[in-house]
Amino acid sequence: MNSNSIKEKLQDIKIKDAELQNKLDTNKTKQQEIQDLKQSDSPTKDFADYVSAILKYINISLRVVVDTDNQNYIIKNSHEENILTIDDISEGEKNLLALLFFYYELFSDDKQEKIKTEIELIIADDPISSMDDSNRFYILELMKNLLNLQNQQVFVLTHCWDDFCNLSYGKKSWQDDSKYTTFEIRKNDRESE
């Protein structure tokens, strides 16, 4: 074989390699498009996007994604791709994720504007515990949104006097012909009053 023939073969190999790489890149892009389409129809994707946006907004370095089967939620660090287990996150972050799931599930639309018609009673028991100050403010605002819902009976229970005051500030009591009432329960000598 002469050197021109070898050069031509090497040039052909380079061209074929480039074509192969192009097809691999195209295939990867198509696979991602397929995955995106599957997730766009997934009910789990809406919640993952909702929570991830909130976590970013309140400056928590977590995000929620769905697995490739669109069946399970995965918690990841926002700055890295490593998957976290529930044991890897703090008690406050666990409570926050649980509360956001609870809140999200109350609504029939993904914009959290229309409460599900079958919900008549909502009880949130000490939703603000284990939260740091910045998350505490956000959760208080969520609870205020719950208290402003129409046609639902809402109970928000708390052990914290500051939270009680923040939640009830500016609300009219039932004595003023309002549907809003606050109660303070105190224990005296092992009895509640």
Residues 114 and 158 in one domain: yes
For residue 149, what pLDDT is reported?
A: 79
Question: Mean of the pLDDT values across residues 41-58?
Answer: 80
Does residue 98 contact residue 106 with C-beta atoms inside 8 Å? no
Closest CA to 58 of 136, 124, 128: 136
User: How would residue 6 be classed by pLDDT, with cut points 50, 70 and 90?
Assistant: confident
- On the question of pLDDT at 82 being above 60, the answer is yes
Write the pLDDT tens digit of every residue in 153-178. Answer: 888 888 888 888 888 887 766 556 66
Predicted structure pTM score:
0.67
- Give yes or no: residues 52 and 29 share one domain: no
The domain containing residue 65 runs over which residues? 42-89
Look at residue 13 and tell me whether its pLDDT is greater than 70.
yes
Same domain, 9 and 52: no
Res. 26: pLDDT tops 90: yes
What's the domain count of the chain?
3
